[in-house]
Structures are given as C-alpha cells and as structure tokens.
Amino acid sequence: MTAELSRWRPSAGLLWALVGGGAVALAFPRPQLFALAWIGLVPLLVQTRQLAFRRALAAGSFSFALVLYWLNIVMTTYGGLVWPLAAVVWLLLSVYLGLYWAVPIWLAVDLRQRRGLSLCWTFPFFWCAFEFLRGKLLTGFPWAQIGYSQYPWASLRQTADLFGVIGIGFLVALGNALIAEVLLRRREGRGWPVRTAVVILLLLVGSQIYGQVRLHAWERPVAEPVRVALAQGNIDQGQKWNPTMLRRTLEIYRDLTVRAGLAGADMVVWPESAAPFYFNEPGPARDLVLETVRQTDTHLLLGAPAYEREESGFRYFNSAFLLTPAGVELGRSDKIHLVPFGEYVPLKWLLPFVDKLVVGIGDFSPGTVRPLRLNGHALGVLVCYEAIFPELARNYVAEGASMLVNLTNDAWFGRSSAPWQHLYMAAFRAVENRIWLARAANTGISALVAPTGEVTVRTNLFETSLVIGQAGFGSGESLYGRGGFLFPYLCLFLALALWLRGWRKTGC
C-alpha cells in the first residue's frame, strides 16, 4: 500500500516545475508580477532529458490554464456550453498550448546533456521559434507570449521596436537559461559561465540604455496632434443583438458622440459592432447615425457588420466605417483575421452541429489590408483580437497607416483578467511600429496608447464612458517595421539547424 501511494505522490521536481509554470502565469495581468517570468522557466530547464518533456508539458498546461481561466466565462455565459464540457475544452486547449513549452525545453535540455551545448546558446532560439509557431499554426493563437509579461518595464518595452515582442521574449528566455546553466554547473562541480554571463549582461544593459534613449526621444510635443474621443457604450452582450435594443444602443452612442463634439474632438471612435446592424443598408438606424455625425461636426469611425452580394449569395464582414462630419462615407475596413468558432466555423461541412458565438449573422468572411484615409493620413483598423497579431499592424503601417485603431468588444471576458491582458498586448503594436494606438472597447478597457506603449488615458471596466485625449499621426518608422520582424524566422532557422546538428550526431 505504501509503495502504491509513493508511486502516485508527485515528485519534488514535478512540484517545482508546476511552481515555475504558476510563476509565469502570475507575470501576466492580473497581478502582473512581471519579474517572475525571468525565473519561472528555470525549474523546467534543470530537469533530466528523460523527464523534461513531461514536466514542461505539465507546467506549460498549468500556466496556460491559469492565464486563460476566463475562457470558461466565454464558453458558458455566451457559448451556451455546460460547465463540464467547457472545462474539458479549456483543459484541452491548455494542454495543446503546453506543447509549445514542452518541445523547446526538451530540445534544449536534450542538446545540453547529449552534446554539452549551453542552454544559453540553444534555449532562447528554440523558445522564440515555438512562440512564433504558436502564432501561426492552426490560425494562430499568440495570446500571452512571454514578452508581453514585461509591459510594466517601460525601458525594456521600448526594445520591441527592434525585433518585436518576441525579441523581448528572447531576452526573458536568455535570462532563465543563464540562471539554469549556473545551477547545473554548480551541481556538476564546474565553474561559472563567465563569458556567457558577460555577453548576456551586456545585452541587458544595452537594452536598458536603448530603452531610456527611446523614452526620452518621445518626450516631445506631438507633431500632428489630433483630439480623439473614445465612446464606450457598455452594452450588455446578451442584449447587443436584440432588435428591440437597437435604438436605445444608438441613442447611448449618440449622446456620447454629442458630448465629444462639444468638447472639440476631431474624431470619435465607436467599438466593434457598436452599430449592430448592416451599416451599408439604408434605413432608420443608418439615418440616426448620419444625423449624429452631422450634428456633432466630427469624423466618426464606427464598428458595424456589412455584407456584399455575389452570384453565389452573400458575404458578411466584421467592419469599420469612416464618416466625414457631413456624413459622407470615406471608406470601409474589414476584419482580416477571424476568430474560429467565434465568427466562423472551420470545417463546417464536417461539423454541422457546431455553431459560432456571434449570433444573428452568418459566417463572416475575411477582408484585406485596407487603410482608411483621413485628411491626408491613413488609419490602420484592427478589429478585436487582431491586435494580438503583430504582422497585421505592421502590414497596415507598411501600407501607409500613421495611426492604429483597435475596435473591440471585450464584453465576452466578463470581469476577468482578459481585458487587461488584451489591452497590454495591443499596446505593444504601438511600440513595435512607433505609432499611436486608439482603442475603443464596448465594455472597456478603452484607451489611447502612445508610441512608447504608455496608456495616456483610459476608461474603467463596465461603465458607460467617454474619454478624450490627444494623439498624433506619426511616421511609424522602426527597425521592426523595416526588417526586425524577420527575427522570429531567424530563430526558427537556427532552432532547426541546432536540432539537425544534434540529430546527425545521434545518427553517427
């Protein structure tokens, strides 16, 4: 009996691995104890190669389960799933994401124990390669990449304009690898990796100097200022698509927009699907919006669904419309990266019994990169969780966008950590591209984000609110935009080269 109990009792190594996974989770909002990310992976890197994969998988799954606990709110409250089924889906996703921890950690530990390669020269490349793949495979889900945890560290945050948020993740992985390497060498009775430590120290000091320089460089008046008003209607998700609530919803946004006009706003931004009707279809609802714009004499950017007729039927879009103070439509931008099972059902022919979370509208179709033109400038519109995909923002800037606008509806998340996680991930798009970001959210958090990533004004969660602040149109020039976005591809190439090196040696 004692032998059976001891077999099921978790080992100290597994417990430390889970503690490390929990520490990384705590580095994200909330409570965002960001320093924990620099040590959370250490317990996984000091495992033996026989146990590294399983324990890293357990730790990664545990970490993602903690960070993404709010998925249960989405699936039960708005997806209609019973909580046991929602819990199964949540855990399966967490395990899948845990694989993106398990594989790079196992590869680095394996190469160290078989080939003697230092963790410092292998693990950061493996880690960043798999974080990059996580944002690409199966439509991509780069939520909570480890670099995002460092948002509060303002000077380090500035380095995102060099190699993106994955570049910051590289530094965090490097810090974990150095600590693990020191511990392993002490266990083996070997000396400190002095030269490696010096190189890493120089990188960290260099990043701090660079960050401080960039912070001071942006402490100057905005070259082309614009007063932006963010209207947060705080419409309950359960009532959002109720036809009887349509006029009341538009009246709430009308009142907020009138207040913005009286306060001298140049542009008012409504959140994703703030106008819950097909805006390109004439009718009383559209007339009410146009009347509001003319009354306030401001530009209006609003989120609303749209459709297009084709020979085969209709195509539906999650869109943003830009209107002049005279009520003239300047253009429409459509969401490009759709949410699987949220805005469309993948493999619908195979899953006819599965429905999506957004009710009242057929499956959405993806749009294309199409900046909206405003008084000689261009706006790059990121709808909802498009803001967590760096390449989308960069593509808009490459097409001439001098301001990013994120229209979102975070009501799905309830009163959880997710709105904060979403906000700070979006803020990195401003840093990477050195450009202002205006973010309008239905229930919060609406905010203006400076090119340094600083949130200059914001709302609170679940309140009807209007915030007005000064933003600006910028050049969007950064190393990341000119070529630093290729850094993850370099990591992927080097990770593959390191793996092939180890594999060839084994084959011999």
pLDDT tens, 277-287? 999 999 999 99
Chain segment 266-277, per-residue pLDDT in tens = 999 999 999 999
**Catalytic residue selected from 120, 131, 240, 335:** 335
Give domain limits for the chain: 2-218+485-507, 225-337+370-473
**Catalytic residue selected from 272, 343, 386, 432:** 272
Structure tokens at 497: 């080269």
**Catalytic residue selected from 128, 131, 240, 384:** 384
Chain segment 457-500, per-residue pLDDT in tens = 999 999 999 999 999 998 778 999 999 999 999 999 999 999 98
DSSP SS3 for 277: coil
Identity of the amino acid at 209: I
If pLDDT is split at 50, 70 and 90, which confidence band does 9 have?
A: low
Structure tokens at 218: 């942006």
User: For this structure, is 384 an active site residue?
Assistant: yes
- In this structure, of 228-232, 339-343, 450-454, the range with the lowest mean pLDDT score is 339-343
Indicate the helix (H) or strand (E) that contains 46: none
- Which is nearest to 335 in space by CA: 392, 418, 420, 376? 392
Using the Cα atoms of residue 348, residue 65, residue 26 and residue 177 in order, give the sign of their dihedral.
Answer: negative
User: For this structure, is 219 an active site residue?
Assistant: no
Q: Which strands form 267-269's sheet, in the order they lie side by side?
A: 329-334, 313-323, 299-310, 267-269, 225-232, 465-472
Say what the pTM is.
0.93
Q: Could you give the CA distance from residue 324 to residue 304 in angstroms, rounded to a whole number?
A: 16
Query: What kind of fold does domain 225-337+370-473 have according to CATH?
Result: Nitrilase/N-carbamoyl-D-aminoacid amidohydrolase (3.60.110)
If pLDDT is split at 50, 70 and 90, which confidence band does 353 have?
A: very low
Asked whether 106 and 123 are in contact (CB, 8 A), the reply is no
Average predicted confidence (pLDDT) for the chain? 91
Give the torsion through C-alpha atoms of 497, 501, 506, 508, to 10 deg: 130
Query: 321 - beta bridge partners?
Result: 302, 332
Please compute the mean of the pLDDT values over residues 212-230 and round it to a whole number: 86
The phi-psi region of residue 458 (left if phi > 0; otherwise alpha if psi is between -120 and 50; otherwise beta) is beta
If pLDDT is split at 50, 70 and 90, which confidence band does 196 have?
A: confident
What pLDDT, on the 0 to 100 scale, is given for residue 147? Answer: 98
User: For this structure, is 272 an active site residue?
Assistant: yes
What pLDDT, on the 0 to 100 scale, is given for residue 276? Answer: 94
Choice between 221 and 235, residue whose per-residue pLDDT is larger: 235
Please compute the mean of the pLDDT values over residues 172-197 and round it to a whole number: 92
Backbone phi, then psi, for 382, in 5-degree steps?
-110, 120
DSSP state of 33: -
Is the per-residue pLDDT at 503 higher than 80?
Answer: no
